[in-house]
A and B are shown apart, each in its own frame.
Chain A
Amino acid sequence: MLAILEAEELHKSFGDTAAVNGVSFSISEREIFGLLGPNGAGKTTTIRMLSTVLPPDAGSVSIAGHAFSDGTAPVRQLIGVCPQELALYPELSADENLIFFGRMTGLSRAQAKERAAETLQRIGLADRAGDAVRTFSGGMKRRVNIGIALMSRPRLLFLDEPTVGIDPQSRNHIFETVLQLRAEGMSVLYTTHYMEEADRLCDRIAIIDGGSIIALGTAADLKGRLGDPTRVTLEEVFLDLTGQSLRD
């Protein structure tokens, strides 16, 4: 299968902290790739580097054949990023937020409007389109946060813990959306702490700890390491690999 993303030996330190320490992996077309790890493992730092925001100290990345070293402009047209923290303008409506960021990815006003309407439908907020995001519940804000990343119809979508702090209904809605997007041809990098989420959603999973990938494979592969894949849970694998001690 063709790789949409290839990351090779990524390194990033903040002062003395090696946040990411030699991470390599690739994501195939139409793959949902899970990045699983405890707090402070380096998931967000990895995503920030892969989404052109943070220059790595060392290592190389290419997306759809465009190496970052040749400039990040072509890459930015291919990616959509949903950051871990909400990144929205609270005083503006959902519609205005979507249209603005859509415009920033190069859509014309008309395109952005049309795409926003479509996206609002997809994230189940069509009836609240005109309300200020400030007045939304946590789950609704999360959905807008994802919606913005979808505006450019990216080929590769980065979702950094998109389901934190939301109810099962909203979470389910997000799962459905992600699966739907893959069916439409999108590739996804998905980070989470929720094992059952990764188990259900991801084609392959990388477990990252202390800035390094310590295991990589399908959910079944990973479970197989501990015993019968039908009886072992991903959580058991995770705790086995990363240990029980508290992080951060």
Chain B
Amino acid sequence: MARILSVAGLEVRRFVADRGDLALSLILPIAIFALMMGAFGGGSSFSATAFVVNLDEGRMGAELVARLEQVEGVRVKLLDADDAARRLESASVVNVIVLPADFSERLSAGQRTPIVVRRRGSGGQPGQIITGIARTISQEMAIEAAAGRYVQRLAGDIPASRVSEALDQALDAARSEPQVVVSTEVVGAQGVSVNRMLAGILVMFLMFSVTLSARGVVEDRRLGTLERLMTTRLSANQLFVGRFVAGIGRAVVQTAILMAVAYVLLRSASLAAHVWVLLLSALFAAAVSAIGLLISALARTPDQATWAAVFATMVMSIFGGAFFDLGSSGLFDVLSRFTLHRYAIQLIDGTLASGSIDWLAGRTSLLVLVVVTVGTLTVARMVFGVEAAR
């Protein structure tokens, strides 16, 4: 047992000592994730910052800002006029909403009320959306003001403060319990969610370690260390199991770091869900490691092993649905059933998306991974010859 762990420990240490391998398995996935987030927008809901210069001398400007802040996905940043001009100049901000000094006065008097939008170029799509929202809210406030004036006229000699109080109450109630709700029905291919992307990248990079597993024994043969190990008390079984454990160990190191980064930066699920993902990754790594060992048992040279592993990685990555939706029928769906990615991504994405651990939902995928691991491992052990004698 101690010897098995030593073999595994050695592999993990060699992995960590090799800056190239480490960079490939840690920095690259983070970089690709960042790139893809940029390219595909990542989050599925709208999120933007509204830059507002509030010159209004009344209270309706502040009211507009407050309501803008209530809108989901919108943050408000108030700027003074000079600051806004500077930021627009340097293009660090491309869209600024300016509420003029007489905003409240005109709005409550029922006069045309200009809102000035200062922007660079198109102002960007988020900027345009924010402008639209601000316009709608101002319009709403204008209508409320008009209703107030109308009710005041009807109310005759009831004091103005009582009327506006009652009106505010009624409007507040209406706002807090919105009458119109939007329900979304997605039709056709779904966009790739952050979780799906995270799962895809994680699985893809875990899959790369198939190359490392595949090279293991072949590399030992090349280094001469295999022959050396054969003169020690290490048995073929111990070497085999040690290598297998090493594959899992490497994956745990890799995933732990990636998941920690994901947890700190994205917080898209609970800590427990991230830890569960770590365990799922270890299971996936077990299957991958078994495939690596099989390749390593069959390959004669490190190059053969590498190419076989790269081929397996590519095929599974392409057809496993790491980055695009496979649809629920058709050729891709069928092909993907032969990849480990599909099952691993389903499990990891499912965990991150639901934010909790769901045994039942993932049981088929779990079963597939376990069966593949055990099956491949058995075959690999049968063809795993440590004989250097050739």
Chain A positions near chain B (C-beta within 8 angstroms): 48, 51-55, 73, 76-77, 79-81, 83, 85-92, 96, 100-101, 103-106, 108-109, 132, 148, 152
**Of the residues B6, B223, B233, contact of A89 by C-beta under 8 Å:** B223
B105 in the interface (beta carbon within 8 A): no
CB of B227 within 8 A of CB of A53, answer yes
Contact bitstring B228-244, A, C-beta under 8 A = 1, else 0: 11111110000000000
A150 to chain B, nearest CB (A): 13
Query: Given A89-B223, A101-B232, A104-B7, 15 other A-B contacts at CB below 8 A?
Result: A48-B227, A53-B230, A54-B388, A54-B389, A76-B231, A83-B227, A89-B10, A91-B14, A91-B17, A91-B18, A92-B14, A100-B6, A103-B2, A103-B3, A132-B17
Instruction: Kindly name the residue among B223, B225, B388 whose own CB sees the greatest number of chain A CB atoms within 10 A.
Output: B225
With the chains together, A108 CA to B1 CA distance in Å?
12
Q: Which 5 A-B pairs have the closest CB atoms?
A: A87-B224, A104-B232, A87-B228, A91-B17, A103-B6
B300 in the interface (beta carbon within 8 A): no
Chain A residues whose CB sits within 8 angstroms of the CB of B18 once the complex forms: 91
**Of the residues B3, B227, B389, contact of A104 by C-beta under 8 Å:** B3
B13 in the interface (beta carbon within 8 A): yes
Instruction: Kindly name the residue among A54, A87, A88, A108 whose own CB sees the greatest number of chain B CB atoms within 10 A.
Output: A87
CB of A104 within 8 A of CB of B13, answer no
With the chains together, A79 CA to B232 CA distance in Å?
8
Chain A residues whose CB sits within 8 angstroms of the CB of B3 once the complex forms: 103-104, 106
Contact bitstring B1-23, A, C-beta under 8 A = 1, else 0: 01100110010011001100000
With the chains together, A218 CA to B17 CA distance in Å?
48
Select from chain A the residue with minimum beta-carbon distance to B18: A91
With the chains together, A71 CA to B342 CA distance in Å?
47
With the chains together, A207 CA to B227 CA distance in Å?
25
Chain B positions near chain A (C-beta within 8 angstroms): 2-3, 6-7, 10, 13-14, 17-18, 223-225, 227-234, 388-389
Q: How many A-B residue pairs have CB under 8 A?
A: 72
CB of A87 within 8 A of CB of B232, answer no
B226 to chain A, nearest CB (A): 8
A98 to chain B, nearest CB (A): 12
Instruction: List 29 contacting pairs A-B, 8 Å CB cutoff, sorted by A.
Output: A52-B231, A54-B388, A76-B233, A79-B231, A80-B231, A81-B231, A85-B224, A87-B225, A88-B225, A89-B10, A92-B14, A96-B10, A100-B6, A101-B229, A101-B232, A103-B3, A103-B6, A104-B3, A104-B6, A104-B7, A104-B229, A104-B232, A104-B234, A105-B233, A106-B3, A106-B232, A106-B233, A148-B228, A152-B232
Chain A residues whose CB sits within 8 angstroms of the CB of B6 once the complex forms: 100, 103-104
A246 to chain B, nearest CB (A): 26
**Of the residues B10, B223, B224, B231, contact of A100 by C-beta under 8 Å:** B10
A68 to chain B, nearest CB (A): 13
| Given the contacts A76-B232, A91-B18, A104-B233, A55 and B223 also touching, CB distance less than 8 Å | no
**Of the residues A51, A85, A92, contact of B231 by C-beta under 8 Å:** A51
Select from chain B the residue with minimum beta-carbon distance to A79: B231
Select from chain B the residue with minimum beta-carbon distance to A48: B227
**Of the residues B2, B17, B223, B228, contact of A101 by C-beta under 8 Å:** B228
Chain B residues whose CB sits within 8 angstroms of the CB of A80 once the complex forms: 231
Chain B residues whose CB sits within 8 angstroms of the CB of A52 once the complex forms: 230-231
Instruction: Kindly name the residue among B227, B228, B229, B231 whose own CB sees the greatest number of chain A CB atoms within 10 A.
Output: B231
A112 to chain B, nearest CB (A): 9
With the chains together, A132 CA to B17 CA distance in Å?
9
Chain B residues whose CB sits within 8 angstroms of the CB of A48 once the complex forms: 227
Select from chain B the residue with minimum beta-carbon distance to A109: B2
With the chains together, A28 CA to B182 CA distance in Å?
93
Select from chain B the residue with minimum beta-carbon distance to A158: B231
CB of A89 within 8 A of CB of B230, answer no
With the chains together, A238 CA to B98 CA distance in Å?
100
With the chains together, A34 CA to B225 CA distance in Å?
24
B218 to chain A, nearest CB (A): 14
Chain B residues whose CB sits within 8 angstroms of the CB of A76 once the complex forms: 231-233
Chain A residues whose CB sits within 8 angstroms of the CB of B223 once the complex forms: 87-90
Chain B residues whose CB sits within 8 angstroms of the CB of A101 once the complex forms: 228-229, 232
With the chains together, A228 CA to B229 CA distance in Å?
46
Chain A residues whose CB sits within 8 angstroms of the CB of B224 once the complex forms: 83, 85-87
CB of A87 within 8 A of CB of B2, answer no
With the chains together, A89 CA to B231 CA distance in Å?
16
Chain B residues whose CB sits within 8 angstroms of the CB of A148 once the complex forms: 228
With the chains together, A230 CA to B6 CA distance in Å?
53
B222 to chain A, nearest CB (A): 10
With the chains together, A81 CA to B228 CA distance in Å?
7
With the chains together, A104 CA to B17 CA distance in Å?
20
With the chains together, A101 CA to B227 CA distance in Å?
12
Chain B residues whose CB sits within 8 angstroms of the CB of A51 once the complex forms: 231
Chain B residues whose CB sits within 8 angstroms of the CB of A100 once the complex forms: 6, 10
Select from chain A the residue with minimum beta-carbon distance to B223: A87
A121 to chain B, nearest CB (A): 22
B171 to chain A, nearest CB (A): 71
With the chains together, A79 CA to B389 CA distance in Å?
19
CB of A108 within 8 A of CB of B2, answer yes
Chain A residues whose CB sits within 8 angstroms of the CB of B388 once the complex forms: 53-54
With the chains together, A106 CA to B3 CA distance in Å?
8
With the chains together, A87 CA to B388 CA distance in Å?
14
Chain A residues whose CB sits within 8 angstroms of the CB of B10 once the complex forms: 89, 92, 96, 100
With the chains together, A85 CA to B389 CA distance in Å?
16
Chain A residues whose CB sits within 8 angstroms of the CB of B228 once the complex forms: 81, 83, 87, 101, 148
Chain B residues whose CB sits within 8 angstroms of the CB of A73 once the complex forms: 233
CB of B17 within 8 A of CB of A77, answer no
A215 to chain B, nearest CB (A): 28
Select from chain A the residue with minimum beta-carbon distance to B21: A91
